[in-house]
Amino acid sequence: MREILKRRRRLLSRRNDGRPELISAALTFATEWQWPVLPGVAPDPQGRARCGCPDPECTVPGAHPFDPGLLAATTDARMVRWWWTNRPDAPIVLATGAAARPGGVESGGGRAPCAISLPAPAAPHALDLLDRRGMRLGPVIAAPTRWAVLVRPYSMEQLGELLYAKDFVPGSLRFHGEGGYLALPPSETGQGAIRWERAPLPGSASPWVPDVEAVVDAVVDALTRTGVSAPEL
């Protein structure tokens, strides 16, 4: 019995010490910032560029929800702690544009931010353009292939009207609104590490983010100028 207890303690120690920063970050997002989160799919251990989900052609390996599904995203500390205690290396996935409630996300409220993402090669130019225009930015997430600028929640009608007014919208631009998702730092996915290019201010409440209108013009302009408009990027 003593040996069994020792093995159990070693197992729990390895489980809890795997990625302590992940559970800490997930709890901050959920409880302090009221962003509904859930664990993403782990990358395939036999090939990190592949996903652990059943889709062999998955384009976002490890960076999307699978089991549980997106509607399970929550701000409940007990659920978040349970998920990452049992899956300490799971990526943290944000349910973009979702209103928070402890038992799971609730459509229509919109406490969690939405995002505009663009290919990584064009992203530094876009941020530089926004800076030169004197535009205030909130957090920016950098993944190996795409960067995402967090913005205030928007409706599909609002986004549609905004894009309709444009003469051209690059196909490589993606919008993460209500019903969407985004991997958050410090997750590790099949494509590599997720990090903050521009981190939220430490010790702050839910981070400030700009309106979507304030960001779209400069991002579209940056992608058009750099010629990075291919949908596959």
Do residues 93 and 51 make contact, with C-beta atoms less than 8 angstroms apart? no
pLDDT in tens, 109-122: 447 999 999 999 98
Q: In the prediction, which pLDDT does 22 show?
A: 93
Q: In the prediction, which pLDDT does 15 show?
A: 39
Mention every residue, 6+ apart, whose C-beta is less than 8 A from residue 104: 36, 71, 72, 73, 74
pLDDT in tens, 124-169: 988 988 888 888 899 999 999 999 999 999 888 888 888 888 888 8
Q: Is pLDDT above 60 for 5?
A: no
Q: In the prediction, which pLDDT does 231 show?
A: 41
**Sign of dihedral through CA atoms 172, 177, 178, 180?**
positive
The burial class, CB within 10 Å (0-12 / 13-18 / 19+), for 116 is buried
pLDDT in tens, 165-199: 888 888 888 999 999 999 999 999 888 899 999 99
Residue type, 186: P
**Strand boundaries in the chain, DSSP class E:** 37-39, 92-96, 114-119, 140-142, 146-151, 174-176, 180-184, 188-189, 192-193, 195-198
Instruction: Give the model's confidence band at 19: pLDDT under 50 very low, under 70 low, under 90 confident, else very high.
Output: low
What is the b/e burial string over 194-203, where b = at least 16 CB atoms within 10 angstroms of the residue's CB? Answer: beebeebeee
Q: In the prediction, which pLDDT does 176 show?
A: 94
Instruction: Give the model's confidence band at 45: pLDDT under 50 very low, under 70 low, under 90 confident, else very high.
Output: low
Distance CA 210, CA 137 (A): 6
pLDDT in tens, 63-84: 899 888 999 999 999 999 999 9
Distance CA 168, CA 219 (A): 12
**220 against 118, higher pLDDT:** 118
What is the b/e burial string over 67-91, where b = at least 16 CB atoms within 10 angstroms of the residue's CB? Answer: eeebbbbbbbeebbeebbeebbebb
List of long-range contacts for 104-108, beta carbons under 8 Å, 24+ apart: 104/36, 104/71, 104/72, 104/73, 104/74, 105/36, 105/70, 105/71, 105/72, 105/73, 105/74, 107/178, 107/179, 108/178
Instruction: Give the model's confidence band at 103: pLDDT under 50 very low, under 70 low, under 90 confident, else very high.
Output: low
Q: In the prediction, which pLDDT does 146 show?
A: 93
- Give the range among 4-8, 90-94, 124-128 with minimum mean pLDDT: 4-8
Distance CA 59, CA 91 (A): 15
